[in-house]
Structure 1
Amino acid sequence: MTKILVTGFEPFEGSETNPSWLAAELLSAEPPSPGLEVTAVQLSCVLGKVADELRAAVAVHEPDLVLALGQAGGRPDLTVERVAINVDDARIPDNAGQTPIDVPIVPDGPGSYFASLPVKACVAASRRAGIPASVSQAAGTFVCNHVFYALAHLIATAQPELRGGFVHVPYAPHQVTALGAAGAGKPSMSVRDMVTGLTAMLEDAVVTTADIRESGGATH
């Protein structure tokens, strides 16, 4: 049995829901395939605290693989993050009102970490399932990147047998509707489609350790 921990975030910035958590819940309720055990844990949208919550969840559930999810409103597809960077630089307050600027997540930690999941293979798996996906070269400098870096640091310093990565999901349709005029033209994806793509990613990641060689770069 392969144990998978999937995390999603609580709502933030005035939204009533967060599609990353809705997708994580559904993945847990409907495990991808026999032999995979999926546990979902909701994380706070609070810098610092969220890293402690992540480490606690890993300690309790002892997963073989961690897939952290977060919302990236404005992106049109599932984006698999390649790199986590060691900085908090908040454009908006987190749910505790914190707005750190240029603060390292781990003092004296490496400047960055690469995901330990097969990023491009995950993208290809989602596309084969009919769900648009792409490689992202930047996870931002807010809570999503904070969790991604904390996970990568945990793996690098304490649990090298663990593998993990981060995927951003778009707005769900109801969020765009709730934005009213501000949501006009913004892309969205149903939570069910998110789960279809994420399921394909998980099934591929469990059996794939060496990533495929396929273009996934960006010019800017």
Structure 2
Amino acid sequence: MGTKRVLLTGFGPFPGAETNVSWEGVKSLNKEEIENELDINLFQEQIEVRYGFVDGCVPKLWAKYQPDLTIHVGVKPGITTLALESQASREGYDRVDTAFSCPVEQKHSCDGPEVIRTELSLKELEEQFNKSSPVEELKAEVSIDAGKYVCEYTYYTSLVHGPHCPQRTLFIHIPVNSCPKQIALCLEHMVRICLQQLKRSS
């Protein structure tokens, strides 16, 4: 299989999440330990909660790291599970970001399909994760609603970036009151399962 390149991102603060546990969880991963255990190169990056920042940052991350697997992590109020987002939409971004701005005409800046879906098998990921979740009270669940905010905008940006990106891109929403160390354990397990999928499909 060779050494795979894995990019994990979390988000910076925004109103209601002054300490964003998505980034706290991502940065809590033990990079050296996970790289050795899974034979990967792991990259951890923070994304600002601004549509304009996403437009410039996400393509640069793909170009810089050329990841075999990208997992974006964000928080979502009102959930108690790890939401495996299955798709992202091009339109409907009517909520202002931390710079009090929205995309022009509430549409993504990239041309692309109205809806684009990940090609990772999320049902399989859900089942495998839930059989062996490292945090008993945290289970995974497939979702079709990524929220029409900077999270979904980021997901769309990655999915539409290139012809092979849907095969290796995932967005996970986590509860806003999550424990970063528990999220780190769950993310490590998610990466492990996704890499197994990639190995079978290669």
Please say if 1:104 is aligned against 2:104: no
Which stretches in structure 1 are left out of the alignment for 5+ residues?
173-188, 212-220
1:119 to 122, 127, 132: 122
Q: 1:48 to 1:87 in 2, by over 3 A?
A: farther
State how 1:1-220 maps to structure 2 within 5 Å: 1-27=3-29, 29=31, 30-31=33-34, 33-91=37-95, 93-100=96-103, 103-106=106-109, 108-127=111-130, 128-129=132-133, 130=136, 131-156=138-163, 159=164, 163-172=168-177, 189-209=178-198
Distance in 2 (alpha carbons) for counterparts of 1:209 and 1:12: 33
Identity %: 26
User: How much has 1:199 moved relative to structure 2?
Assistant: 1.5
**Which AA in structure 2 matches 1:76?**
T
* Structure-1-length-normalised TM-score: 0.78
CA offsets 1:75-95 (integer angstroms, 9 cap, x no match): 10100001111124233x211
What SS is found at the alignment partner of 1:48? helix
Distance in 1 (alpha carbons) for counterparts of 2:52 and 2:41: 28
User: How much has 1:146 moved relative to structure 2?
Assistant: 0.3
How large is the RMSD of aligned CA atoms in angstroms?
2.3
Q: 1:99 to 1:207 in 2, by over 3 A?
A: same
CA offsets 1:77-136 (integer angstroms, 9 cap, x no match): 100001111124233x21111145852214542101111322122222331223311001
* Structure-2-length-normalised TM-score: 0.85
CA offsets 1:161-201 (integer angstroms, 9 cap, x no match): 961110001112xxxxxxxxxxxxxxxx3222222222111
- The one of the two structures with greater contact order (alpha-carbon pairs below 8 A, sep at least 6) is 2
Distance in 1 (alpha carbons) for counterparts of 2:18 and 2:112: 35
Distance in 2 (alpha carbons) for counterparts of 1:107 and 1:151: 11
**Which AA in structure 2 matches 1:19?**
V
What SS is found at the alignment partner of 1:98? coil
What SS is found at the alignment partner of 1:139? coil
What SS is found at the alignment partner of 1:155? coil
Which has the larger helix fraction?
A: 2
What SS is found at the alignment partner of 2:129? helix
Which stretches in structure 2 are left out of the alignment for 5+ residues?
none
**Which AA in structure 2 matches 1:7?**
T
User: How much has 1:28 moved relative to structure 2?
Assistant: 5.4
What SS is found at the alignment partner of 2:116? strand
What SS is found at the alignment partner of 1:194? helix
Distance in 1 (alpha carbons) for counterparts of 2:198 and 2:6: 15
Q: 1:77 to 1:136 in 2, by over 3 A?
A: same
**8 Å contact 1:28–1:39 — kept in the other structure?**
no
